[in-house]
């Protein structure tokens, strides 16, 4: 397993490089002048100042050299200073990540916790009303625009009926993480973000469960007299989990992207909202830093998924 992990990590390096390259190219090839982007809000900037900054940023060098310089800066964890906040961009981003992770991780738990049982039920009750209902719910959950659901949630459950808060992580004056207040504030965003995942899992699981259930070794287990539930739990799930774990990758991708809008709708101070606000105020260092960090997190979660995959199906490691 250790070697597998090491190999996966090594395989991630070219991907990371690709992400950095893409981000760098985007910023240098845009019509917006990076110096202009950096000097926002400075009223008495002279052209000498601009030239100085241009030289300091290395913008008068050929592109490949700029890239190397930029990589060198990144290696020293220097992502530049936020133009809006006058603080290192990396600090801002790292502050916000735990907030976003709360939603993502909880959403993952909810997705798995609701999705898997639903999938199993749909399989076991194939053809019956429950199956159809779950499948309809599945497709609906896929097709619904997340932010629309979020807006409707806020409107119905928070403004018109005060059952849930309209947003934020805590009520004003309350400052706790592992408490009821935080959970109450998490319900809205987690629910909305999970819908996509909850919608997808039952479909995959149902197919897998159906496939596995009709296989020989399962029939053998049944004929041996093992209880139905045990059979399902041990044999079926073990095999059915493989594609489930595969879908984790895409689920996490969804969480990251979706969080951008959901955090805005629910006023959640996470990475998504920071990136959006930075984008609106053209705070380029922060936007750039956020993309890189988000990509790094995503790559890491893919690696974790692959490790989980390998653990569930040992044959994978050979690949």
Partner 1 sequence: MATSATVQRVAVGAPEYRRASAGLWSDAAWRLRHDPTTLLALFVVLLFVVIALGADFLAANFFHRAFSQQDILSSYEKPNTDEAWRWLGTDELGRSQAVRLLYGARVSLFVGGFGALTAVVIGLTAGVTAGYFRGWWDDVVVWLVTTLNSIPRLYLLLIVGVLWRLEPLPFALLLGSLGWLGICNYARGQSIALREREYILAARTVGCSPVRLMVRHLAPNILPLIIVLAMIEIGQLILAESAISFIGFGIQPPTPSWGNMLTNASQYLGKAPYLIVPPGLAVLITVLCLYLIGDGLRDALDPRLRGSVGPRPRAA
Partner 2 sequence: MRRLVAIFGAAMLVATACAGGTPPTSGGASPSTAASDTPVPGGRVVAGATGDPKTMQPIISTDTQSSFVWQWFYLGLTRANYKTGETEPSLADKFELSKDGLTLTYTLRDNLVWSDGTPFSGEDWRYTVHSVARSAKTVRKSTFQDIVGWADYRDGKASSISGITVGNGGKTIEIKFAKVFCPAQAAMGGAGGGILPSAAFKKVYDPYTTDTKQNIDDNALNMNPPASMGPFVFKEFKPGIQVTLGRNDKYFRGAPLIEEFVIKVYADATAVKNALVTGEVTYGTVEAKDYDEVNKVDSLKGYRYKSSGYTYIGWNAKAAKAPWLANRDVRQALWYGINVDAIMQKILFGLGTQVYSHNPPTSWAYDTSGLTTYKNDVAKAKQLLEKAGAKMGSDGIYRWTDGSPMKMRIETNQGNNARETILQFAQEQYKAIGVQIDPLLESFNALLDRTDPGTDFEGFIIGWSLGADPDPYSIWHSSQQGKGQFNNIGYNNPAVDQALLDNRNGPDCSKESRKKALHTVDQNLNQDAPYTFLYAADVLFFGNKQLQAVDPNTYSNTWNIEKWWFKK
Q: Is 194 a binder of partner 1 (CB under 8 A)?
A: no
Residue 78 binds which of partner 1, partner 2, none (CB < 5-8 A, kind-dependent):
none
**What gap in Å lies between CA 296 and CA 281, rounded to an integer?**
24
Q: Is 33 a binder of partner 1 (CB under 8 A)?
A: no
* Torsion 234-238-244-248 (CA) sign: positive
Backbone dihedral region for residue 88 (phi beyond 0: left; psi -120 to 50: alpha; all else: beta): beta
Total of chain residues touching partner 1, rule CB under 8 A: 70
Residue 143 binds which of partner 2, partner 1, none (CB < 5-8 A, kind-dependent):
partner 1
Q: Supply the minimum distance, in Å, between the C-beta of residue 268 and partner 2.
A: 9
Q: Supply the minimum distance, in Å, between the C-beta of residue 90 and partner 1.
A: 16
Residue among 4, 10, 99 at smallest CA distance from 319? 4
- Residue nearer to partner 1 on the CB measure, 101 or 279: 279
Q: Supply the minimum distance, in Å, between the C-beta of residue 167 and partner 2.
A: 7
Residue 267 binds which of partner 2, partner 1, none (CB < 5-8 A, kind-dependent):
partner 2
- Residue nearer to partner 2 on the CB measure, 266 or 302: 266
- Residue nearer to partner 2 on the CB measure, 4 or 84: 84
Q: Which residue has the tokens 């799930």?
A: 237
Q: Is 129 a binder of partner 1 (CB under 8 A)?
A: no
Q: Which residue of 153, 165, 208, 274 would you call a contact of partner 1, by CB under 8 A?
A: 208
Q: What is the dihedral of CA 103, 131, 120, 192, to 10 degrees?
A: 0
Q: Is 133 a binder of partner 1 (CB under 8 A)?
A: no
Q: Supply the minimum distance, in Å, between the C-beta of residue 110 and partner 1.
A: 14
What residues line the site for partner 2 (CB under 8 A)?
A: 40-44, 84-86, 92, 95-96, 154, 158-159, 162, 165-169, 171-173, 264-265, 267, 269, 273-274, 277, 280-282
Q: Is 190 a binder of partner 1 (CB under 8 A)?
A: no
Q: Is 173 a binder of partner 1 (CB under 8 A)?
A: no
Q: Is 66 a binder of partner 1 (CB under 8 A)?
A: no
Phi and psi at 224, nearest 5°, equal: -70, -10
Residue 59 CB neighbours (<10 A): 15
Q: Which residue of 99, 100, 102, 200 would you call a contact of partner 1, by CB under 8 A?
A: 200
The answer to whether residues 284 and 23 touch, using CB atoms and an 8 Å cutoff, is no
- Residue nearer to partner 2 on the CB measure, 85 or 311: 85
Residue ranges binding partner 1 (CB under 8 A): 14-16, 18-19, 22-23, 26-27, 30-32, 139-140, 142-148, 151-152, 155, 159, 196-197, 199-200, 203-204, 206-208, 211, 215-217, 239, 242-243, 247, 250-251, 253-254, 256-258, 260-261, 264, 275-276, 279-280, 282, 284, 287-288, 290-291, 294-295, 298-299, 302, 313, 315-316
């Amino acid at each position: 397993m250790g070697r597998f992990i090491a190999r996966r990590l090594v395989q991630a390096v070219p991907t990371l490089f690709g992400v950095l390259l893409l981000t760098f190219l985007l910023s240098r090839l845009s019509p917006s002048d990076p110096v202009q982007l950096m000097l926002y809000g400075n009223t008495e900037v002279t052209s000498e100042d601009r030239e100085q900054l241009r030289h300091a940023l290395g913008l008068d060098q050929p592109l490949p050299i700029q890239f190397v310089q930029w990589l060198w800066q990144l290696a020293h964890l220097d992502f530049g200073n936020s133009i809006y906040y006058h603080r290192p961009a990396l600090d801002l981003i790292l502050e916000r990540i735990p907030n976003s992770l709360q939603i993502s991780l909880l959403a993952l738990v909810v997705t798995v916790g609701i999705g898997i049982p639903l999938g199993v039920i749909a399989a076991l009750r194939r053809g019956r009303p429950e199956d159809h209902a779950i499948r309809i719910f599945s497709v609906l959950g896929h097709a619904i625009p997340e932010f629309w659901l979020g807006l409707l949630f806020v409107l119905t459950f928070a403004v018109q009926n005060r059952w849930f808060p309209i947003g934020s992580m805590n009520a004003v004056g309350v400052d706790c993480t592992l408490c009821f207040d935080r959970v109450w504030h998490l319900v809205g965003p987690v629910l909305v973000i999970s819908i996509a995942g909850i919608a997808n899992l039952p479909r995959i699981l149902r197919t897998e469960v159906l496939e596995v259930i009709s296989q020989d070794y399962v029939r053998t287990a049944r004929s041996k007299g093992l209880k139905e539930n045990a059979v399902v739990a041990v044999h079926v799930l073990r095999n059915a989990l493989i594609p489930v774990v595969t879908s984790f990758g895409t689920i996490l991708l969804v969480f990251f992207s979706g969080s951008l809008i959901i955090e805005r709708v629910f006023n959640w101070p996470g990475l998504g909202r920071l990136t959006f606000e930075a984008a609106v105020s053209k705070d380029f260092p922060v936007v750039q830093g956020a993309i890189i960090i988000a990509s790094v997190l995503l790559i890491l979660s893919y690696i974790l998924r692959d490790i989980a995959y390998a653990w569930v199906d040992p044959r994978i490691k050979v690949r």
